A = this chain, B = another copy of it.
């Protein structure tokens, strides 16, 4: 398995990015990580990890970097030799099976969308899937930011791709697909939600359609896939991060206030417990968010990713690049109303 890693993408790149690549390459003997970015800086980081298997860590030089705050499309056009475009170039030529980046999310998606050959047959628009925790285990929320103007056909495809991802990668058999909405009743919501519902009800996937999921029910985990347009999904994802940050900072303050009243090392123990708990909300386990609907595999990591997140992203990207995930998506989208619409170029 060959994965292209954007060594320059991320708030702290290339340090933790290259470190994560080294850990992954050491752990996974079948993995080759193609490090894409400034050759000199990458080599300097590799030198800090002498036990890394350099024969499975080739470097592809890219002289430019798309900044985290740059306008994606403009930056991609101006900086032709940027590391993100180069990663996708390796995918387009078949040199790698997957792409991983903690860089500018918009640029990652735009760069994939620029090249329609990247899309799997039948796919209208790729979608970014985020993995959330729930009472029943990890759930997939799709789309969290690739597509700001989703059509019902897009949400329909996101549901199917998300369910196949949940089955193949998360091991959730029979994952049900919920439609993010403002109430439980059928007629609730917008034209987008109403038409998406009708589309599912009339489809071969009707038995897997869970119906509406309200914001507060996401964490129940009854629907292991939740579909929504990219605007709502992005707000949901980031607000969830913000809420967890806020809550834990308040918890920490509460703990500090109680400290003097607590006997012995109870405060320290509690603090350690909180840290453990917080890490469960930080998605590092899955390394990042998969972009579904493209050939090969792609994981978009959080800008603040550390070595552990990158290592996990490389591992998951390897699994995602399996033929089975791709074949099932292509098979399930072929001949569905959505794929026909896509073919008709609506």
Contact = CB atoms under 8 A, between A and B. Distances in A.
A273 B254 contact: yes
Q: How many copies does the complex hold?
A: 2
A1 to B, nearest CB: 32
Report the interface size class on chain A.
35 or more
B273 A255 contact: yes
B231 A218 contact: no
Given A236-B215, A239-B216, A270 B246 contact: no
A218 B189 contact: no
| A contacts with B: majority SS | helix
A244 B232 CA distance: 19
Of the candidates A106, A243, A246, the one having the most CB atoms from chain B within 10 angstroms of its own CB is A243
A235 B71 contact: no
A267 B269 CA distance: 11
Interface stretch (A179-187, A196-204, A289-297): A179-187
A116 interface: no
A281 B247 contact: yes
A75 to B, nearest CB: 11
10 closest A-B pairs by beta carbon, nearest first, are A215-B238, A215-B239, A266-B266, A216-B242, A219-B246, A216-B238, A182-B234, A263-B264, A215-B235, A263-B263
21 contacts: A71-B187, A145-B182, A182-B230, A182-B231, A182-B238, A189-B231, A215-B234, A215-B241, A231-B232, A235-B236, A236-B239, A239-B240, A251-B274, A251-B277, A254-B273, A255-B273, A258-B273, A261-B269, A262-B266, A262-B269, A262-B270
